[in-house]
Structure 1
Amino acid sequence: MFDRLTDEARWVVRRGQDHARATSATTIESEHLLVALSEREGTRAQRVLVDAGLTAERLRGLIDQERDRSLRSAGIEPSPIPVSPSASSLALATSAKNVLRRAVVRSTRGKTKGIDATRLLRAVLDQEAGTVPRLLALAEVDQSALLAALGEEDA
């Protein structure tokens, strides 16, 4: 699976790991990949996210809001997450693995077989449930509008 990632997609996964580590997460989630995609300059994925107001800073804030909202709905009062050193390499969580699987499937149907940032973003946005759709709802950003802004995939 990783052999299909372009250099920019590998950068996104590594940067997603950095975001996960910075929040003391134990695994790399799809929302960490989303933040990284918003930072990868020069990509269509980043332009679409930033044009929708989804900068890395705003996404990190939305992730914090969603975490606090989820904890409160479970009857837990949120508190700051203590940042502690984590493993040098974090595993991919199910949500991130599913993103990569969807990207691989999409790449087998297109002219180009590589998985770039745009394909990764499409796979992140394909999620119907989970943190990413909740983040987009909090931001009042339409998933289908983001997908449309990415344009047609190569056929």
Structure 2
Amino acid sequence: MSAFDTFLQSVLERAEAEARQEGSATIEARHLLLAIAARDPGAAGLDYQRVKDALRGEFEHSLGSAGVSPGVPPTPTRDPGRRPRLGTTFKLAMERMAAEHRKRDLRPEHLLLGILQAEAGTVPRALALAGIDRAELIERVRSTL
């Protein structure tokens, strides 16, 4: 296995754990982002707690936009026997990564770019609400390649 394959396997395992902890039926791009931040706290300056807080803020903001008072967040229903499946935003992030780079050239930063390049969705909204300039973050990640 290549170094990237080893990295990807560990990120996928952590992303699945994040989805399970959240009670999500799917593994999404937000779970990948959390997994990368947990595995490599220096990844483009994103630490795990900051990403987690940004995603929580986005969730509460979305609830408020729908007219639901955030108050006490609902307790997720967890089914320990059910394995989360791959979600749409997960697949799109992987497709963006694969479309722009050959497999033999892949590095962890490419996966992060695949996540960050989403124009809409939970991750870009969370970053914006947290005051993180997504375009600047993308350029910072690209500069490391």
| TM-score calculated relative to the size of structure 1 | 0.80
**What is the identity, as a one-letter code, of the residue corresponding to 2:18?**
H
Tell me whether 1:75 sits opposite 2:70 in the alignment. Answer: no
Alignment partners' CA distance in 2, 1:14 and 1:115: 19
Q: Write the deviation string for residues 22-69 of structure 1: whole angstroms up to 9, x where unpaired.
A: 11111111111111111123xxxx4243x2xx3111211221111111
- The more displaced of 92-101 and 5-14 is 5-14
Alignment partners' CA distance in 2, 1:100 and 1:117: 12
Q: Note the C-alpha offset of 1:138.
A: 1.3
1:47 alignment counterpart: 42
Q: Which runs of 5+ in 1 are unaligned?
A: none
Q: How many residues align?
A: 141
Q: Note the C-alpha offset of 1:91.
A: 0.7
Q: Is the 8 A contact 2:93 2:115 kept in 1?
A: yes
**What is the identity, as a one-letter code, of the residue corresponding to 2:30?**
E
2:131 alignment counterpart: 140
Alignment partners' CA distance in 1, 2:108 and 2:74: 29
Q: Is the 8 A contact 2:25 2:83 kept in 1?
A: no
Q: Write the deviation string for residues 80-136 of structure 1: whole angstroms up to 9, x where unpaired.
A: 23144334521111000001111111223xxx6254321110100110000111111
| TM-score calculated relative to the size of structure 2 | 0.85
Q: Which runs of 5+ in 2 are unaligned?
A: none
1:2-151 mapped onto 2 (5 Å cutoff)? 6-41=5-40, 46-49=41-44, 51=45, 54-78=46-70, 79-86=72-79, 87-108=81-102, 113=104, 115-151=106-142
**What is the identity, as a one-letter code, of the residue corresponding to 1:135?**
A
**What is the identity, as a one-letter code, of the residue corresponding to 1:85?**
R
Q: Note the C-alpha offset of 1:152.
A: 4.7
Q: SS in structure 2 opposite 1:105?
A: helix
Percent sequence identity over aligned pairs: 30
Q: Aligned Cα RMSD in Å? A: 2.2
Q: Is the 8 A contact 2:28 2:88 kept in 1?
A: yes
Q: Is the 8 A contact 1:12 1:117 kept in 2?
A: no
Q: Is the 8 A contact 1:23 1:81 kept in 2?
A: no
Alignment partners' CA distance in 2, 1:116 and 1:39: 17
Q: Is the 8 A contact 2:109 2:142 kept in 1?
A: no
